[in-house]
Amino acid sequence: MFLSLAKKTRTIRRFDIDKPVTRDELLSILECVRYVASAGNLQRIRYITLCGDEAVRAFGAIRLGGYLPDDKKPDESVAPTAYIAILSESEDPDLNFAIDVGISAEAIVLSAAERGIGACIVRNFDKKYFSSITTEQGFSCTDIIPTASYFP
């Protein structure tokens, strides 16, 4: 059962913009993430969700397919319809926090796949943009942004 789920988690870079992921779906994904392991059981990660117009604006702040030739990189016609930004209290998180981010990002991808939603873990993005839209006082965006959308 887990193997079949893991096989669904290929990196998705082209999404179906006509079938957007809703905020309720993002919150359902995050509900699952609440129950995964945490190094030291410190639960230091926070999240913000973006969908709808917020996701459309955020697309300009991420870089999908960094290693692809320019003519193969995704554009607005296949952009993600939702994002979950992982937040940190520190600009220089420790190793345990980095482990927590990895665990959380993979749990997001697996939870999305279980719902038929594709995802891509993105590290190339404008941290200032994502940190500027957080409402979590004292938190800034980490180095990973999972994207989510249905895919063709």
Q: Please give the domain boundaries of the chain with CATH numbers for all domains.
A: 2-149 (3.40.109.10)
Phi, psi of 36 (to 5 degrees): -85, 165
pLDDT per residue rounded down to tens, the chain (152 residues): 888 888 888 777 788 889 999 999 999 999 999 899 888 777 778 888 999 999 999 998 988 888 888 888 888 888 899 999 888 776 666 788 888 888 999 999 999 999 989 888 888 888 888 878 877 677 777 767 777 777 65
CA distance 55 to 78: 12
pTM of the predicted structure, to 2 decimals: 0.87
